[in-house]
A and B are shown apart, each in its own frame.
Chain A
Amino acid sequence: MDETSATEAVAEPGFRDIVRLEGVQKYFGSVHALRDISLAIGRNEIVGLIGDNGAGKSTLIKVMTGVLAPTAGKIFIRDREVDLADYSVRMAHDLAIETVYQDKSLADKQPLWRNFFVGRQITNRFGYIDIKREKKIAEEVLLRSIGFRGVGITVDSTVAQLSGGERQGIAIGRAMHYNSDLIVLDEPTVALAVKEVRKVLDFVRRIKDSGRACVYIEHNLAHVHEVADRLIVLDRGSVVAEIAPRDMSVADLTEFLIDLQKAK
């Protein structure tokens, strides 16, 4: 991969929004999954994305990060329009957008160092991987950024040997490593013990402290209310509200979402 592209992108000043969607539509066959979505993610903010199952949260971030192509609409990254025919996960990586999916970020049977670099391996021009270098960098990240010291985990460990919290740690650590401007988290605290949830939330804050932005999908309203600067509420494929957490308590927020359900 081109190692410099990510860093250059970070250095580029003078943009207002990291990502902006305008009129994005997504159909799966006849199912209208996203209806005319327009939203912007600014710099240095944590945006919580909430809504019921099937509201379109996951589809939205997949469109945002290049996994799915939208049926219609425009995507701007750093205020520049993206050619949707070319937009892909790889391109999103190059544009410094990283995603951490609930349990789909890491491949179970593969060693950590491969999971770290897959999709953007350090290779020579024939495509052969520089294994030594990849392992060395992965080890540094493991020890320094994630703090896996003395827990019996090495870069050669397979993902299957890790706990749920450790997996999130690896995935988030990988995202941080690539100097991303925007880190998208898809329910990182699902199925984690309380102590590990703490760690992940601290990590989300650290993302902001380091000047990056974060889009955070979460079912647990208390978690997202605690860390988000802004909440975007999705319902049946549409953005129905934007809420500042300081203006609304968790209890009121819960009421609000339940009322949305009743309105169906």
Chain B
Amino acid sequence: MATGLIRRIEGLPIILVFACILGLFMFTAPGVFLSPFIYTTFLSTLPPLILLALGLTFVIGAGEIDLSFPAIIAFSGFVFALLFKEYQLGWIAVVAALAAGLLVGFVNGLLVAKVGIPSFIATLGTQFFWAGMATVLSGGKSYALRGAEESSVWQVLVGRIDFGPNAPIWLNQISLQAVWTALIAFFLWTILTRHRFGEHILFIGDSNEVSRVVGIDVDREKIRLFTLMGGLAGLAAIFLTLENKNFFGNQGQGYLLTAIASVLIGGTSIFGGRATIIGTIFGCFIIGMLEAGLVASGLTGAWVRTVQGLIFLIAIVFYLYVEEPQRRAAFLARLGFSAKFGRAKAAE
């Protein structure tokens, strides 16, 4: 019955875990975690991760995977940086970068839905292709966007909200990309939980066969799904490039593990059919917080990936245990245990 309560409040276990880790860091690194500035910093650094993870929540919920988003970060980021810096195109650069992301996603969707390539392979291929394109076209150069903060693009997308000179300093450091990301997250939450598209995505993740039988156009929804993912990755690329005021070719590479881990830590099922936006957001908070927290607690940065990987695995095992009783039994049986823990199976 404990699982009943856990299911009733969306993302409850992960919120509790988040609170525990936060409390731990407040204890081990009070100087950092008890001041507001670390949190305003998160507001400017986390949005790209969150946008990617939101898209992946739909993708993984549909029982698919997208490995190409780091390449979209590179390619869309390049399109944006080139048009913004070399051609001074401002908002047109934003539109072009978004369109590039949508296009890459759309192609992924066609490869998966119409050509019928498993998404793992299809997006592995497109990952190499578009990352390669970004490198070739940029000639391996990076673009520094000096003076970008003067532009309306920068001010509207990633500027800081001005609460006036009398407000506390930290309040004036709240960044707009956090606001946009929060709005997008809310919108996508309504789509996943209350919109026809979200329902179709979860049914597809549950079973392609059942989905076809009940009249869902599975191919069309998958194309939409990957296109959505591409668009979100394109936006993440714009935020990232603007926030750093710099574009470099492998700026997306660090997100592959962290974005997928955030989604799965949050409680979206690796087998598809169940997905949670709230869980994903807290998964992002945890993944993002670890780096600052571990370093501030006195560990070297080299530990960050190790701990992220460990928490990722613990989370997967946890969800496997709580939410997939049949699979758990099958897994234990494979290891030579019966469903009742610890008892070895009779000689095979």
Contacts and interface: CB of A to CB of B under 8 A. Distances in A.
A88 interface: yes
Interface string B239-277: 000000000000000000000000000000100011000
A114 B202 CA distance: 10
Interface stretch (B35-43, B110-118, B174-182, B190-198): B190-198
Contacts of A99: 213
Interface string A1-15: 000000000000000
Interface stretch (B81-89, B203-211, B225-233): B203-211
Interface string A120-151: 11010011110100000000000000000000
Contacts of A127: 195-197
B9 interface: no
B199 interface: yes
Contacts of B195: 123, 126-129
Contact of B216 (A105, A119, A129): A119
Nearest to B269: A109
A205 interface: no
A126 B213 CA distance: 24
- For the complex, would chain A's binding face be called helix, strand, loop or mixed by DSSP majority? loop
A141 to B, nearest CB: 16
A74 interface: no
B210 A106 contact: yes
A105 B213 contact: yes
Given A108-B273, A109-B206, A110-B273, A118 B194 contact: no
Interface in A71-116: 88-90, 93, 99, 101, 104-110, 114
A119 to B, nearest CB: 3
B212 interface: yes
B147 interface: no
B214 A119 contact: yes
Q: Most chain-B Cβ atoms within 10 A of its Cβ — which of A114, A121, A127?
A: A127
B165 interface: no
Q: Most chain-A Cβ atoms within 10 A of its Cβ — which of B195, B213, B216, B273?
A: B213
A118 B200 contact: yes
A187 B273 CA distance: 26
B207 A108 contact: yes
Contacts of B210: 104-107
Contacts of A109: 202, 206, 269, 273-274
A148 B231 CA distance: 45
B274 A118 contact: no
A121 B216 CA distance: 11
Nearest to B197: A127
Contacts of A190: none
A54 to B, nearest CB: 19
Contacts of B197: 127
B199 A104 contact: no
Contacts of B214: 89, 105, 118-119
Q: Most chain-A Cβ atoms within 10 A of its Cβ — which of B202, B206, B215, B273?
A: B215
A243 interface: no
Given A109-B273, A128-B194, A114 B199 contact: yes
Given A127-B197, A129-B194, A129-B196, A104 B274 contact: no
A113 to B, nearest CB: 11
- For the complex, would chain B's binding face be called helix, strand, loop or mixed by DSSP majority? helix
B201 to A, nearest CB: 11
Q: Most chain-B Cβ atoms within 10 A of its Cβ — which of A88, A105, A118, A121?
A: A118
A67 interface: yes
A109 B206 CA distance: 7
A28 B130 CA distance: 36
Nearest to A123: B196
B206 A107 contact: yes
Contact of B213 (A89, A108, A110, A121): A89
Contacts of A119: 214-216
B206 A89 contact: no
A65 to B, nearest CB: 9
A121 B215 CA distance: 11
Contacts of B273: 107-110
A119 B210 CA distance: 11
A196 B129 CA distance: 55
Interface string A143-162: 00000000000000000100
Nearest to A99: B213
A110 B206 contact: yes
A88 B207 contact: no
A108 B202 CA distance: 11
A121 B199 contact: yes
A110 to B, nearest CB: 6
A229 B35 CA distance: 79
Contacts of A114: 199, 202-203
B190 A128 contact: yes
Contacts of B326: 160
The 10 A-B residue pairs with the shortest CB-CB distance, nearest first, are A119-B215, A107-B206, A89-B215, A119-B214, A109-B273, A90-B215, A127-B196, A107-B210, A107-B203, A104-B209
Given A109-B269, A128-B195, 17 more contacts: A67-B213, A89-B215, A99-B213, A104-B207, A107-B202, A107-B206, A107-B210, A109-B202, A109-B274, A110-B202, A119-B215, A123-B195, A127-B196, A127-B197, A128-B194, A128-B196, A160-B326
15 contacts: A89-B213, A99-B213, A104-B207, A104-B209, A105-B213, A106-B210, A107-B202, A107-B203, A110-B273, A118-B214, A121-B199, A123-B195, A123-B196, A128-B196, A131-B194
